[in-house]
Structure 1
Amino acid sequence: MILPNLGMERRDFMKAGAVAGALGGLAGCTGMLDDNSGGQTTNGAPNAHVPPGELDEYYAFLSGGHSGDIRVLGLPSMREIMKIPVFNHESARGYGFDDKSREMLEEAGGYTWGDTHHPRVSQTDNDYDGRWAFVNDKANGRMARIDLQYFETDAICNIPNQQGTHGACCVLPDTKYVIGVGEFRAPIPNDGRDVDDPSEYGSVFAAINPETMNVEWEVLVDGNMDNGDGGKEGKWFFTTGYNSEEGVTESEMTRSDRDMVKAFNIPAIEAAVEAGNYETINEVPVVDGRQDSSLNQGDDPIVKYIPTPKSPHGVSVTPDNKYAIASGKLDPTASVIDIEALDEVSDPEEAIVGRPRLGMGPLHTAYDGRGHAYTTLFIDSQVVKWDIEAAVEAEAMSEDPVVEKIDVHYNPGHLIASESYTSDPEGDWLISLNKLSKDRFLPVGPMHPENDQLIYIGDDENGMELVKDKPSYAEPHDASIVQADKIEPAKVYDPEDIDLEYTGAGDETIERVADDRVEVKMYSMRNEFGFPEITVKEGDTVEMQVTNIEQTSDILHSLVIPEHDINIKMAPQETTKVTFEADDPGVYWMYCGFFCSALHLEMRSRLIVQPED
């Protein structure tokens, strides 16, 4: 894009503006980068350098986008600690290769990829409790649960009647439900009916039980939905929406200059389900929450439709539960919705009590707990800090609530502040997840990395300070930041948590259980497997179960049989099982893929497949 009358590309324009801001910021950043003493930068930000051997203060769970995983960072170092496979296959963990994870992925649709967007951590009393993280699959209409004791995906829910699970968040204060916000309108059920009649399409809001990962109920609404966030008291849940025109082409979807934020009354929906006011579609109770539904005609509607400027994108609830703030995307303002007023006004639009002008392309908002909101400006390539109560008091479209802006590089989408989704944010660090990096890193070809930038927001007097860049693989979206002491990861597995028999030294067995099936149970430890060789027949189904009997943490083993596409990992005290077909006669070396001792190369065994004849 060429900016009029300037004769230069937008990239160069942004870069030039960024240099001016960066030069001032580098005065602080240079001191930080050169000083590993743990002091402060010249602008007052704590040193984000975490020396070797020391640990970070926070876990940050960032979406992996098209990689289908979750990235785990330490903050403030921005060191990437781990990747958690969710909707993808990952050989180092054996994820998608061992029987358990392979079956979980197959039962959740059998897709080969996913698109993770919104990691959310479970809460109790509006504070992170360290039990689970949840994340949506924007591509395939799924929700996954991650066990934060082991940092592993342990359940995936395939959401019926939903295409494109975009928003994901929890019903608080105690994670009663995990909400999947369906984006794409389609016939419901999508079985060939109404394919040529878009007026009959619909999108659904799905409530998932976090314990069972089953869909409890869904709500059918008008228009498309986008992102979502829940109030802190369990009554209201908010989603943004677009395409109130219910079109199927760009021109049809953008005719109107207004769209809707949808406020879901969770107790009223539950009462409708309890009373049987639903239709069962694909084995799920679906409640009619469209505007002309009889359930929306009384004094206690199940969904309130709040008119906003066109195509609002992000929505988030303030830590004190006073407001839900929806960002404009195609409008330079944010809409501040008074949550308490929703129960009092007859016209939901009257609950909008503020509309500050923030800048071009506002998308998502986070909070510091001191009364400030931070919103990404996609077009301006900035993060804007603004005063929430000042926005309520100011005239609509006023810029007075804006406190300051900081340049980011470039085109930010989501952002997250430390513990922003709780009722008591920490208010020190913020990550801006930017869609473009351009010249921030070494060139790697036409596909550039994206850029996660760490910003210090803890000093209201000196202002925001850009601290670090971190490249990321396409295309991350949202994140959650949790104090490290609220999560207690295990160092070794508890065998009681694994639904497989523990096999210690001396307990190993090889048993032919049928003419064409062999079951193996063995252990692994440094330098050896339980059997130096295993003999089966051509055509056998082989079930191989292996226990890592190490007691020392961080001593991983794996069982690798390349010719059979097997690579499963066993952490200390973990038992893993894989089943495969021994189709071809021959000798196949089985070995450990993790360097575990000086005799690592000798840690191997033979799989002998005898010819059928």
Structure 2
Amino acid sequence: ASGGGDHSVAPGEHDEYYGFLSGGHTGEIRVVGLPSMRELMRIPVFQAESARGFGHDAKTTELLEEEGDGHVWGDTHHPRVSQTDNDYDGRWLFVNDKANGRMARVDLEYFETDAITNVPNCQGVHGACMQLPDTQLVFGVGEFRVPMPNDGRDVDSPDEYGSVLTAIDPETMDVEWQVEVDGNMDNGDGGKEGRWFFATGYNSEEGVTESEMARSDRDYVKAFDIPAIWEAVENGEYEEISGVPVVDGTMDSSLNEGDRPIVRYVATPKSPHGVSVTPDGNYAIASGKLDPTCTVIDVEAIAEVDDPQEAIVGQPRVGMGPLHTAYDDRGHAYTTLFIDSQVVKWDYEAAVEAEARSEGPIIEKHDVHYNPGHLIASESYTASPQGDYLVSLNKLSKDRFLPVGPIHPENDQMFYIGDDDAGMQLIKDKPSYPEPHDASIVHKDKIEPAKTWDTDDYELDFVPEGEESFERVDENTVEIEMWARRNEYAFPEVTVREGDEVTLRISNVETTSDVIHSIAIPEYDINLALAPQDTREVTFTADEPGVFWAYCAYFCSALHLEMRSRILVEPQD
């Protein structure tokens, strides 16, 4: 795309990028195309969702109830796409649940959640980030301070509370270790070379009320030395809590003495919010939130200086309420200003050369509507951002759209940033259902979604035409294996008895892309969504006698209404 050009996408044409937006307290991920900003799909993550049958079949029900610890909702904030050699590889997306202390993984071949980890010793997994360059670990940044374990002990002893950074194996989704730190943590980002992970922090006072949390003028960015933490774990220098090695990374820890501390505390103006590493890996930039500056930390210097604060090499004054920073491919940083309702563009190398609190590095400010939180530029989290599009995720929309009652949509505003002479160009507003927080933008060539399911990619046996079966296993157990295709199910009618435990397995035998079926059973809260070549299974008790017309909830053909199976539940008497 070019500055001043047409950034629309014609009907039938494809977008250049995938945008993965968190859904906040909907518990989902939204997929949009850029630059059109058209919503393409929603991926249920921490909540049951009937359109895709998530939480209706046995596999995803187990995922939510057992791996997900049975919670019925989540609060997704920070979607991160896996990387290889500091570039998106299109394999997975990871996202946190702030509400219930969980981390999830989405398979980007099928755009489906395939794993959820319940993180122990942690309440409020806020940041979701990874160790780079190759997604060696996924990090959950713990925000809320709680007793460890949080089992009723020390409930009124805030001195015993702690917050932890959690390291998760991306392949197994098992928790490898945790590091306890002083204060609360907020957001995080990984260095490009694999050694460092950065997390902002607030409440160094370790208070429990707002006034107690904001007394000090200084808080900290925590720089975690990942190899040093692994060494401590391998040497047994940890306490096992809830079955997980918890390493003491607090300021007074013996592991933070000497010339190789596991966590370095970099003092910054109070309550820094977002932190992100520049594409070249040279700097970690923390946004001030309660201070009108961004703090530029020299990544290489952290290991060399005696006082971590000496690694601060720049602190430009950018505006009121700086929250998050993204990057283009030309050395520019873009920071949201929540109070000013603006995005500010600035030169981070110029900030290193300038005096502290100078406005000299600022290139441009652009109004947004209104009160931006996160922002994301195309491939900004990689070592090679594209530098063309930027989306500001604004918390308030106020008067930008038709009124829809007292709860308003959010406003996601897209800019073209590829022409430095023309400046930032606002080209689109998009209303968003509450509440996106962060996003990742990935070029379409780096993701290869499946057109149909590969039957080798799931454990259930596929049921082809001609191999359907109905078997009464014992007095009260029935197993049904059947298929679905356009206009019909394998069995136009099945009869079971009241009280039977019925296991229904069904395969979509279509091989054509986008011919989707489902089987919805009225009054039983069942809707299994079936993409081509997919197989799903559900077990239910036939506890309501009567006639139940199972039907396809997807409109699949002209005879859609006739695609039914009559389920007869005979009464016991």
Q: 1:236 aligns with which of 182, 190, 196?
A: 196
2:11 counterpart of 1:74: no
Separation in 2, partners of 1:69, 1:195:
32
* SS of structure 2 residue aligned to 1:438: coil
Return the offset for 1:46: 3.2
Separation in 2, partners of 1:52, 1:383:
31
2:13 counterpart of 1:54: yes
Amino acid at match of 2:156: D
2:156 counterpart of 1:196: yes
Separation in 2, partners of 1:587, 1:449:
42
Tell me which residue corresponds to 1:165.
Answer: 125
Amino acid at match of 1:325: I
Return the offset for 1:462: 1.2
Q: Deviations for 1:496-549, whole angstroms, at most 9, x for unmatched residues? A: 001100001110011122322111110000011011111111111111010000
Tell me which residue corresponds to 2:59.
Answer: 100
Tell me which residue corresponds to 2:402.
Answer: 442
2:452 counterpart of 1:486: no
Tell me which residue corresponds to 1:409.
Answer: 369
Tell me which residue corresponds to 1:205.
Answer: 165
* SS of structure 2 residue aligned to 1:564: coil
* SS of structure 2 residue aligned to 1:100: helix
Tell me which residue corresponds to 1:399.
Answer: 359
Amino acid at match of 1:571: A
2:234 counterpart of 1:271: no
Tell me which residue corresponds to 2:550.
Answer: 590
Separation in 2, partners of 1:142, 1:191:
17
Separation in 2, partners of 1:223, 1:519:
54
Q: 1:337 aligns with which of 282, 293, 297?
A: 297
Q: Deviations for 1:147-182, whole angstroms, at most 9, x for unmatched residues? A: 000000011111001100001111100000110000
Checking the alignment, whether the CA contact within 8 Å between 1:325 and 1:337 is kept in structure 2 is: yes
Return the offset for 1:45: 3.1
Separation in 1, partners of 2:90, 2:4:
28
Q: 1:544 aligns with which of 504, 527, 541?
A: 504
Checking the alignment, whether the CA contact within 8 Å between 1:456 and 1:464 is kept in structure 2 is: yes
Separation in 2, partners of 1:542, 1:46:
59
Give runs of aligned pairs for residues 45-444 of structure 1, distance below 5 A: 45-107=4-66, 108-444=68-404
Q: CA RMSD in A?
A: 0.8
Return the offset for 1:192: 1.6
Give ranges in structure 2 of 5+ residues lacking alignment: none
Q: Deviations for 1:37-88, whole angstroms, at most 9, x for unmatched residues? A: xx96xxx333211001110000000011111111101000101000111011
Q: 1:466 aligns with which of 423, 426, 431?
A: 426
Give ranges in structure 1 of 5+ residues lacking alignment: 1-38
Q: 1:573 aligns with which of 533, 537, 545?
A: 533
**Structure holding more helix per residue:** 1
Q: Percent identity?
A: 73
When normalised by structure 1's length, the TM-score is 0.93
Q: Deviations for 1:403-456, whole angstroms, at most 9, x for unmatched residues? A: 000000000000000000000000000000000011110011111111000001
Amino acid at match of 1:588: F
Separation in 1, partners of 2:349, 2:118:
41
* SS of structure 2 residue aligned to 1:608: strand
Q: How many residues align?
A: 572
Separation in 2, partners of 1:307, 1:375:
20
Amino acid at match of 2:560: H
* SS of structure 1 residue aligned to 2:471: strand
Tell me which residue corresponds to 1:7.
Answer: none
Separation in 2, partners of 1:101, 1:400:
53
* SS of structure 2 residue aligned to 1:440: coil
Amino acid at match of 1:132: W
Separation in 1, partners of 2:477, 2:254:
59
Q: Deviations for 1:118-170, whole angstroms, at most 9, x for unmatched residues? A: 00000000000010001101111001100000000011111001100001111
* SS of structure 1 residue aligned to 2:523: helix
Separation in 1, partners of 2:555, 2:463:
22
Q: Deviations for 1:451-484, whole angstroms, at most 9, x for unmatched residues? A: 0000011011111000000000111100000000
Separation in 2, partners of 1:147, 1:471:
27
Separation in 2, partners of 1:588, 1:575:
22
